[in-house]
Structure 1
Amino acid sequence: MSITSFVKTLQNIMRNDAGVSGDAQRIEQIVWMLFLKIYDAKEELWEFHNEDFTSIIPEECRWRNWAVDLKDGESMTGEKLLTFINNELFPALKVIDVDETTPISKAIVKFAFEDAYNYMKDGVLLRQAVNVIDQIDFTDYKERHAFNEIYEQILKDLQAQRASGEYYSPRATTDFITHMIQPQLGERMADFACGTGGFLTSTLNFLEPQIKTVEDRELYNQSVFGIEKKAFPYLLAITNLLLHDIDDPVIIHGNSLDKNVRDYNEKDKFNIIMMNPPYGGSEVDSIKMNFPMELRSSETADLFMSTIMYRLKKNGRAGVILPDGFLFGTDNAKKAIKEKLVKEFNLHTVVRLPHSVFAPYTSIRTNMLFFDKTKSTEDVWFYRLDMPEGYKNFSKTRPIKLEHFEPAMEWWNNRVELKDGKFDKARKYSIEEIAALNYNLDLCGFPQEDEIILEPNELISTYIEERTQLNNEIDSVLVKIQEMLGVSK
């Protein structure tokens, strides 16, 4: 079944169901069913290789025992199917007994269903949807990998949903950073706000051609680590890794900022960190207390940046997407974070991205920061990636593609200073110059701001995000002033 017809068929079935409201719920409904189908295929393989294998899922709740339609008139449908799903399947999966000895490959079932729901109310339509999903043979390597395209389309569809767009980084951005970082088998890569797993799967796709032996396959299986706070993208990420033949996906359902950064030791650190931290949000005081006083910020992206610095191994490499506000921000916390970055790490490259890379979710400008833990920073290269010819904006129908990064890739290995008229397009700044600018990294920016016409809802969303970011910076400054004056909050 083609990508378009698979997703469209399921969406058309669910549009007739009164319990499913909007594309976001339709996608959530598709994903929990996909997870169980894919997991059942994995269990078939595990059973083949290990005759002592036992499933953590109760026998009657395994996909093969309730979902498969044998065309003998015995398969559950209508009210019987609905009653089974709502009163037996979901309750059973939510209370699976998991402890520290439970293998990750089994524990993920409970974690995946902790906050999952069945939205459908028509048992006949639900049977139709289950049958469509059951057509795909996930035990077949080629068919499973071909399905990755369908899954990628589902993730792209999420980007169009205002409430869910934050979960998806365009494939071109994760692939470009991965190609510049060059992960190698034997290294461990982490994303502490992994969303649907874009950076994790870009890493796996880059590593797969390196697999030559059984030992290499084991290294591949242990090569990525993620943390995701929200339940739905967590389920998407787990499913994504299963599709990429990771039998033991190490993705934690939790908040990366919950732990005091001073408590991290060597086993908590990684060779590679690549991520697109949430930005525009703010954190409560109890979270800020997990960071040294000078690094405490109201801006979520700032706290993630500090977390990254505390969790990068010696000689490790990092690629991080951050908003413009981080580059030009001069409040005490942002300045302290940037000062720590250039003094304790080698910030070697900043790639300025054109507007609307993350459209339609946000039009806030973003940047890619590349650094390693090899030495302190001596020079920083800045490179401005211009909008490709013929484009005024990126959009859902015309997203950024990896080929649009080709000018940056060509420049990366042959770095020269470039000018666009009187404006710098690429330039190297010494650390002395950056310090003299009070660690303002807003350099080699875009020379002219074209007026961007946004849809009303997008305009409101962007305004709220920008206002929140500004309020966070103001709050941070006020806290510092209150501390200096000895005034309690």
Structure 2
Amino acid sequence: MSFEQTFKNIDDLLYKDSGADSELDYIGQTSWVMFLRYLDELEQDKADEAELKGEEYNFILDEEYRWPNWAMPKGADGKLDHHKAMTGTDLVQFVDKKLFPYLGEFKVKSVDNPKSIEYKIGEIFSELSNRIQSGYILRDILEYADELPFRASTDKHELSHLYETKIKNMGNAGRNGGQYYTPRPLIRAMINVIDPQIGEKIYDGAAGSCGFLCEAYEYLYERMEKTTDNLKTLQEETLFGKEKKNLAYVIGIMNMILHGIEAPNIIHINTLGENIRDIQEKNRYHVILANPPFGGKERKEVQQNFDIKTGETASLFLQHFIKSLKTSGRAAIVIKNTFLSNADNASISLRKHLLESCNVHTILDMPAGTFTGAGVKTVVLFFTKGEPTKNIWYYQLDAGRSMGKTNPLNDKDMEEFVSIHKEQPNTEKSWIFNVNDIDENSFDLAPKNPNKPEEEALRTPEEILEEMEMLDEETSSLLTNIKELIS
């Protein structure tokens, strides 16, 4: 049976169970089962390595809680031993009352070593709960999961691809698709422009499903010399992230594991809860890649952690990222395009701060529909910290078609931008803006293409509707900020 069919069968079973209600539940439940299956393979590999060296391997999990004992006890013929295998109520009670509490305790036991896989086990199982209510359905899911091999790199590659597809579907199904899924062609283009190097620390403070970190791992792995030191550096000292939401944290950890990162450096925390005035050099990074969530939702006590106070989450994240970059550090940040022109004081102050403290050398203007299900238009800010902005190269991506779920962004769409960004040419869809010409009252950075042919000047109905939607969002954001000031 193919991996794809196995995933589909697990989804079909979850659909029948009364405890899993949505795509989000499906991937959450699939994730904890897959994680334990992966952990068993990892432990077996380490035990085999130790045996070859004549050493003894100390298993992380006690015998009762290892996959071959509770999930898939097998007979001498290699098939499930139905006399030993729990099912029905017995299985659900074991998982809920014994397995999850036991695994959750690892967070406390390993609190001094948050980078260890033991700590990750504790984090995952103290945050997630088993939502599968039927022990008979859970038994079938465990049997399907047992068929998924994690040892060969080709297997892992296929599994990671399927898992990414599940994340993408989950993003498309939810109201906030961008929260979980940034289109991978866009991520790959951003990484190509930033060009991270082995030995640099790469950070995403709004990690979500860890798409940026997974793609950065692939980029570095393909290009670096495969020495023991480089591989160790890539695994342990290169990729760092923070994520606030329970489910996204678990999905991100699992996604990185499937991409080959054994113990991901992802911290489960609200990034915006950190006072940016406390960020020191040792906390800073060479490269930041992110697509922070947007919306006016942050409370006043969170806003106190920032010099420029606003309820807009993405604007707080942008301040955090600027502060978290080393001098000469490079960033590529996806942000809603209204940030470039919002007229509230916080947005104007933040644009001024960005231009004065960083060299914003490129703004990539993405077409509507890039983020399927998210309903917003975005830009990508590329900047280097430590010197003021003099010139900005704008590039308006035009894929020559309307984008959406059935016609998503692809790598070919990004090819021209990636190939010409260093030259920064003047074309019909790209131009240089001299920051000396900026309106110093508004610091408006909205793209105004001086090279667009006059016959194209008339806007399409779609563009007009898009602008109306953006103005509605802007008004809503301003009203939220006014209400906060009044209260």
Shared topology, TM-score over 0.5?
A: yes
Measure, in 1, the Cα distance between the counterparts of 2:57 and 2:462: 57
Mapped pair 1:249 → 2:264: yes
| Of 417, 427, 433, the match for 1:418 | 427
1:24-423 equivalences in 2 (<5 Å): 24-49=24-49, 51=55, 53-70=57-74, 71-73=80-82, 74-96=84-106, 97-101=109-113, 103-163=115-175, 165=177, 166-209=179-222, 210-221=224-235, 222-292=237-307, 295-360=308-373, 362-386=374-398, 388-389=399-400, 391-395=401-405, 397-419=406-428
C-alpha distance after superposition, 1:357-383 (max 9, x if no partner): 1112x1211000000124211111111
Measure, in 2, the Cα distance between the counterparts of 1:48 and 1:184: 33
Say which is worse superposed, 468-477 or 368-377, in terms of deviation. Answer: 468-477
Structure 2 CA distance for partners of 1:443 and 1:452, relative to 1, 3 Å: closer
Quote the residue 2:20 is aligned against: 20
Measure, in 1, the Cα distance between the counterparts of 2:363 and 2:407: 25
Shift of the alpha carbon at 1:315?
1.1
Measure, in 2, the Cα distance between the counterparts of 1:121 and 1:448: 57
Say which is worse superposed, 298-307 or 336-345, in terms of deviation. Answer: 336-345
> TM-score, normalised to structure 1's length?
0.89
1:174–1:202 Cα contact (<8 Å) kept: yes
Measure, in 2, the Cα distance between the counterparts of 1:252 and 1:347: 29
Shift of the alpha carbon at 1:6?
2.4
Kindly provide the amino acid, as one letter, of the partner of residue 473 in structure 1: L
Shift of the alpha carbon at 1:429?
1.0
C-alpha distance after superposition, 1:103-142 (max 9, x if no partner): 5221001111222122222212211111111101112222
Measure, in 1, the Cα distance between the counterparts of 2:156 and 2:358: 41
Measure, in 2, the Cα distance between the counterparts of 1:77 and 1:340: 60
1:69–1:131 Cα contact (<8 Å) kept: no
C-alpha distance after superposition, 1:154-192 (max 9, x if no partner): 111111221562211111121111111111110010000
Kindly provide the amino acid, as one letter, of the partner of residue 308 in structure 1: F
1:352–1:383 Cα contact (<8 Å) kept: yes
Kindly provide the amino acid, as one letter, of the partner of residue 27 in structure 2: I
Q: The residue matched to 2:316 in structure 1 has which SS? A: helix
Quote the residue 1:2 is aligned against: 2
C-alpha distance after superposition, 1:221-252 (max 9, x if no partner): 12100000001110011111112222221100
Measure, in 2, the Cα distance between the counterparts of 1:319 and 1:24: 28
C-alpha distance after superposition, 1:87-106 (max 9, x if no partner): 21112222333321465221
2:104–2:122 Cα contact (<8 Å) kept: yes
C-alpha distance after superposition, 1:22-62 (max 9, x if no partner): 33222221111111111222222333445465344343222
Say which is worse superposed, 84-93 or 435-444, in terms of deviation. Answer: 435-444
Structure 2 CA distance for partners of 1:216 and 1:278, relative to 1, 3 Å: same
1:211–1:220 Cα contact (<8 Å) kept: no
Q: The residue matched to 2:321 in structure 1 has which SS? A: helix
1:421-440 equivalences in 2 (<5 Å): 425-436=429-440, 438-440=442-444
Task: Give the percent of matched residue pairs that are identical in Structure 1 and Structure 2.
Answer: 28
C-alpha distance after superposition, 1:254-305 (max 9, x if no partner): 111111101110111000000001012420000000012xx11110000000
1:299–1:473 Cα contact (<8 Å) kept: no
Structure 2 CA distance for partners of 1:103 and 1:193, relative to 1, 3 Å: closer
Measure, in 2, the Cα distance between the counterparts of 1:171 and 1:317: 20
Kindly provide the amino acid, as one letter, of the partner of residue 85 in structure 1: V
Quote the residue 2:476 is aligned against: 471
Structure 2 CA distance for partners of 1:52 and 1:181, relative to 1, 3 Å: farther
Q: The residue matched to 1:128 in structure 2 has which SS? A: helix
Shift of the alpha carbon at 1:475?
4.8
Measure, in 1, the Cα distance between the counterparts of 2:247 and 2:327: 34
2:403–2:409 Cα contact (<8 Å) kept: no
Measure, in 2, the Cα distance between the counterparts of 1:15 and 1:475: 38
Q: The residue matched to 1:443 in structure 2 has which SS? A: coil
May I ask how many residue pairs the two structures share in their alignment? 463
Structure 2 CA distance for partners of 1:117 and 1:52, relative to 1, 3 Å: same
Shift of the alpha carbon at 1:325?
1.5
Shift of the alpha carbon at 1:448?
5.7
Shift of the alpha carbon at 1:449?
4.9
Say which is worse superposed, 56-65 or 337-346, in terms of deviation. Answer: 56-65
Kindly provide the amino acid, as one letter, of the partner of residue 159 in structure 2: F
> TM-score, normalised to structure 2's length?
0.89
Gaps of 5+ in 2: 75-79
1:58–1:92 Cα contact (<8 Å) kept: no
2:332–2:383 Cα contact (<8 Å) kept: yes
